[in-house]
Amino acid sequence: MPAFLLPIFGIILGLIIGSFLATLILRWPEGRSVIAGRSSCDACGRQLRAWELIPVVSFVIQAGKCRQCGTMIATDHMAIEIAAALIGGLALFAAPGFDGLAGAIFGWLLLTLAALDVKHHWLPDGLTMILAGSGLMAGLLFDFPTLQDRLIGGIAGFAALAMIAALYKSIRKRDGLGGGDPKMLGAIGCWLGWQALPLVLLGASLIGILVALSWRLRGKSVTVDSMLPLGSLMAIAAFPLWLYQTAGAGLAY
């Protein structure tokens, strides 16, 4: 495949994978089966046909609305699909090859974790383990970041946040971080290497502040509890850092 076609391939692959991820994200927390479960309109319960679940098609034919009650069908579903398509396109644009494909997988895993954390304050251990494991595996396949930097990143990321969480708890007598957050930063470290960890935390803080500001501007009250969970903020910060790192490494060759 010619290199210029790869980002387009990434977008199409992203749409397909995003459709599966959206189903997983929207159903897993409810304990419903991803494969076997049949989809229905969340508002009126009408069973949806297979083609109605393909956002692009359903959008063209019925403006994304349920035929029975007119409710927009799973806009979350569509948002996740579009995000997954963007991730696939950007990753293969930044690195047209297998390293780009690896980066897309990193992005899709981050997207899944971020969405579950935003919606359910839940970072499933199994998924953070896959994120960490695939990061170390990428370290075996690609030269940069080195496997050693990734391993240190995994340990340092976990240890740093676990220590902060313990410190916070001993001072404030309550949990300040989610239990999955240290594992999440460790898993991100397995992809980006330890050198990127301060930037992940800085990026997460900046995104958190921006989100809080935009909520204030729209008149929503912002409390500690209403903040986006840290895991999702770290995930949102990590993918652009991968893009930056990869584009930078490409320039250095």
Q: Report the residue number, 62 or 214, with the smaller CB distance to Zn ion.
A: 62
* Least distance between Zn ion and beta carbon 74 (Å): 11
Q: Report the residue number, 41 or 187, with the smaller CB distance to Zn ion.
A: 41
Q: Report the residue number, 38 or 220, with the smaller CB distance to Zn ion.
A: 38
d(CA 163, CA 67): 52
* Least distance between Zn ion and beta carbon 68 (Å): 5
Q: Report the residue number, 66 or 138, with the smaller CB distance to Zn ion.
A: 66
**Which residue is associated with the tokens 């995930």?**
235
The SS3 assignment for 40 reads: strand
* Least distance between Zn ion and beta carbon 18 (Å): 22
Q: Which residues pair with 95 in a beta bridge?
A: none
Q: Report the residue number, 27 or 120, with the smaller CB distance to Zn ion.
A: 27
Binding residues for Zn ion, rule: CB under 5 A, are 41, 43-44, 46, 66, 68-69, 71
**Which residue is associated with the tokens 């690609």?**
142
Q: How far is CA 156 from the centre of its chain?
A: 21
For residue 204, the tally of other CB atoms under 10 A from its CB is 23
* Least distance between Zn ion and beta carbon 240 (Å): 37
**Which residue is associated with the tokens 């594992």?**
183
d(CA 203, CA 214): 16
**CB under 8 Å to 102, separation ≥6 — which residues?**
134, 138, 141, 142
* Least distance between Zn ion and beta carbon 70 (Å): 7
- Torsion angle, alpha carbons of 90, 113, 42, 11, to 10: 10
